[in-house]
Amino acid sequence: MFTADGRPSDDDPRENRPHLGDERLTIAEALRHLRLTLELKCADLDAEQMARRSVEPSTLSLLGLVRHLAEIERGTFRVLLAGEDVPRLYCSPENPDGDFDDAVADDRVVAEAWETWRAEVDFSTRFVETVPSFDAAIDDPDNKHGSGGGEMSVREVLIGMIGEYARHMGQADLLRERIDGRIGQ
């Protein structure tokens, strides 16, 4: 949240979180914190600003990040962890970077991206709340999820998701600063 002059306010939804939680709560809160950061970085932007590219020839934009992270949430939680057979959202063999390349300045595209991302986050959140054990092993034999292939624990997958968001929040910070100079939060 920000004041009228663009400075960060004291009202930050990421603060006052539990600090003495068990593993499940700690990991869930870390993901929640990073997801809230994405929303904060994109707050109050119009479609043109959301789709604005970083620098040529890159297709990196905040809208692209929202779409990309929806794609990653789906691939990680629905496909890899829950074993669902669902199609990709934006990318295909013919358009492997569709999450970024097709992130265009259109109010409908922005609204759809947020709706999709929130639906995937809701699924992911419910999954983390109900998975019996973070020790459970899952298999990614063909390395379709960037795991290196083979078995890994649910815990390892979740830590990988935290790393994915953390990398992209650095990009989001720079993209937002380029758009209107807003930094922090």
Residue-range domains of the chain with CATH: 31-180 (1.20.120.450)
pLDDT at 139: 83
Closest CA to 52 of 182, 178, 167: 178
Instruction: Output the furthest CA–CA distance in the chain (Å, rounded).
Output: 52
Coil, strand or helix: which one is 33?
helix
pLDDT at 14: 44
- Rounded to the nearest 10 degrees, the angle between the axes of helix 107-130 and helix 23-42 is 170
Q: Is the pTM of this model over 0.95?
A: no
pLDDT digits 0-9 by tens, 21-48? 688 899 999 999 999 999 999 999 999 9
Q: What is the DSSP letter of 156?
A: H
pLDDT digits 0-9 by tens, 126-183? 999 999 999 998 887 777 666 677 888 999 999 999 999 999 999 999 999 999 888 8
